[in-house]
């Protein structure tokens, strides 16, 4: 079966790219172009026709031909570059649908076939998806490193070390009559301990990779009517939250995804904190306090004209917090000093908000310190690494002279869990979840 799909965005545009892949791709190309010869080492200038009625779909187009296995998918693959009007795109897709053994590709199917043909590993497949969805410079940079195979190479090196150690243990089991030098068993122990240390270092990374991929959580907290919702709207540059002079307007958590100078941020506006009597408002305040604890960074908004500060808000303020003293345009009644970065601003007049954004970026940049070659970007990686670590712990607890076969099984399972990250073992059950978020033509 051959698959086809629009790989570029929908028109109108200057150019549209349609991909075709499968064993009959060359035949399909000849049917639609009437070219007798199609060269793989050059751009083929052509016209595209509808084979049913011989009408020209596009009089000036390009055809790129990539014979397998030297193609993206590993199978024969072609790219049609045509004018990007919806009419041309629709006519070309219709003509392809009428070709024998041709069907529309599923989301991510080209990349899935590339994985199944060993053109890429599972980590690279995931990182291609991340690169497609990257919205900030940090996300793009992280995805590029993963696409280049930095993490894959590192995991494969660790796996090879595990396999080497396992081979020594199995040799001792298979050839029990031949004494394996004590020195070799000691080297196995030291190697496994080193692998344990390396994996533990990856896991203890403060979830930097996941935060870059999904966004840093920044929570705006403070008392009622301090200007929190107005601040959210100002930073977002659009009306996200309802702004009202009535105290306690915000009851639920309102979140918006932002790109703050290259940093992916999920910015949350929360209910104002005060001694509430209304049950709904109490629940809103409880949510606000919960968001504050979960956040990577808290912006505590304090009314500069207020004489006192709620005790719950005081507890939130620390060196990892930014205090925004709002309403700098009114008389200052706040004489307190805070053990936190403080910005005197006016949300109403958009004064010093640029300083606040600079502070946010500075705080988040300090959370990116990691020397790990392999950053965890998905929960499944973390789960597999923890499972691998557990098996290594089991191995290290055993007496290799007495429990040799059980020790070998521990290493086999550790190797399997590590291999599962890059797709060295059966991973069919997770393929669907990886490729479902891809665009159709990828």
Determine the Cα–Cα distance for residues 113 and 90; give it in Å rounded to an integer: 25
3-state secondary structure 320-341: CEEEEEECCCCCCCCCCCCCCE
pLDDT for position 290: 85
pLDDT for position 284: 80
Determine the Cα–Cα distance for residues 217 and 214; give it in Å rounded to an integer: 9
Instruction: Using alpha carbons, list the distances in angstroms from residue 150 to 103, 145, 146, 332.
Output: 35, 6, 6, 53
Instruction: Using alpha carbons, list the distances in angstroms from residue 407 to 158, 164, 386, 398.
Output: 18, 14, 18, 7
Q: What is the CA radius of gyration of the chain?
A: 29
Determine the Cα–Cα distance for residues 440 and 442; give it in Å rounded to an integer: 6
Q: What is the pLDDT of residues 164-209, one digit of tens each?
A: 998 888 887 776 655 666 777 888 889 999 999 999 999 988 789 9
Determine the Cα–Cα distance for residues 79 and 64; give it in Å rounded to an integer: 5
User: With a cut of 50, which residues of the chain have pLDDT below it?
Assistant: 429-430
The half-sphere exposure of 112 on its side-chain side, counting CA atoms within 13 A, is 21
3-state helix, strand, coil in the chain (%, to 5): 45, 20, 35
Could you tell me which of 429, 381, 383, 394 has the C-alpha nearest to residue 155?
Answer: 381
pLDDT for position 176: 61
pLDDT for position 429: 47
Cα dihedral sign for 236, 238, 242, 247?
positive
Determine the Cα–Cα distance for residues 118 and 112; give it in Å rounded to an integer: 10
pLDDT for position 435: 60
Instruction: For the beta carbon of residue 317, count every other beta carbon within 10 angstroms.
Output: 20
Domains recognised in the chain with CATH numbers = 2-105 (3.30.1360.120), 125-205+376-435 (1.20.120.430), 212-368 (3.40.50.300)
């Amino acid at each position: 079966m051959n698959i086809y799909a629009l790989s570029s965005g929908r028109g109108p545009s200057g150019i549209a790219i349609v991909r075709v892949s499968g064993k009959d791709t060359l035949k399909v190309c000849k049917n639609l172009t009437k070219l007798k010869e199609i060269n793989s080492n050059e751009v083929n200038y052509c016209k595209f026709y509808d084979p049913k009625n011989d009408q020209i779909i596009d009089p000036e187009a390009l055809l790129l031909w990539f014979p397998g296995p030297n193609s993206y998918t590993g199978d024969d693959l072609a790219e049609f570059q045509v004018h990007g009007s919806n009419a041309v795109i629709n006519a070309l897709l219709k003509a392809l649908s009428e070709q024998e053994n041709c069907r529309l590709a599923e989301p991510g199917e080209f990349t899935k076939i590339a994985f199944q043909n060993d053109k890429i590993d599972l980590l690279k497949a995931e990182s291609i998806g991340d690169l497609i969805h990257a919205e900030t410079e940090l996300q793009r940079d992280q995805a590029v490193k993963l696409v280049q195979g930095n993490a894959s190479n590192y995991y494969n090196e660790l796996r090879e070390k595990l396999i080497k150690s396992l081979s020594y243990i199995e040799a001792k089991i298979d050839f029990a009559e031949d004494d394996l030098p004590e020195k070799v068993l000691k080297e196995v122990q030291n190697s496994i301990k080193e692998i344990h240390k390396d994996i533990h270092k990856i896991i203890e990374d403060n979830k930097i990779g996941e935060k870059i991929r999904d966004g840093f959580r920044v929570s705006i907290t403070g008392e009622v009517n301090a200007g929190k919702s107005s601040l959210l709207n100002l930073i977002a540059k659009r009306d996200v939250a309802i702004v009202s002079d009535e105290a306690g307007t915000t009851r639920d958590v309102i979140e918006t995804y932002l790109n703050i100078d290259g940093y992916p941020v999920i910015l949350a506006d929360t209910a104002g904190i005060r001694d509430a009597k209304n049950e709904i408002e109490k629940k809103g305040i409880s949510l606000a306090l919960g968001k504050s604890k979960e956040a990577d960074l808290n912006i505590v908004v304090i009314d500069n004209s207020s004489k006192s500060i709620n005790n719950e808000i005081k507890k939130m303020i620390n060196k990892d917090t930014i205090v925004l003293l709002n309403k700098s345009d009114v008389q200052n009644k706040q004489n307190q000093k805070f053990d936190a970065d403080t910005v005197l601003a006016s949300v109403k007049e958009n004064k010093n908000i640029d300083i606040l954004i600079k502070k946010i970026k500075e705080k988040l940049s300090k959370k990116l310190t990691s020397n790990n070659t392999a950053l965890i970007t998905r929960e499944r990686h973390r789960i597999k690494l923890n499972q691998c670590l557990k098996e290594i712990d089991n191995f290290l607890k055993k007496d290799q002279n007495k429990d040799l076969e059980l020790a070998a099984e521990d290493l086999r399972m550790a190797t399997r869990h590590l291999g599962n990250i890059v797709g060295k073992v059966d991973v069919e059950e997770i393929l669907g979840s990886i490729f479902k978020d891809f665009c159709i033509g990828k």
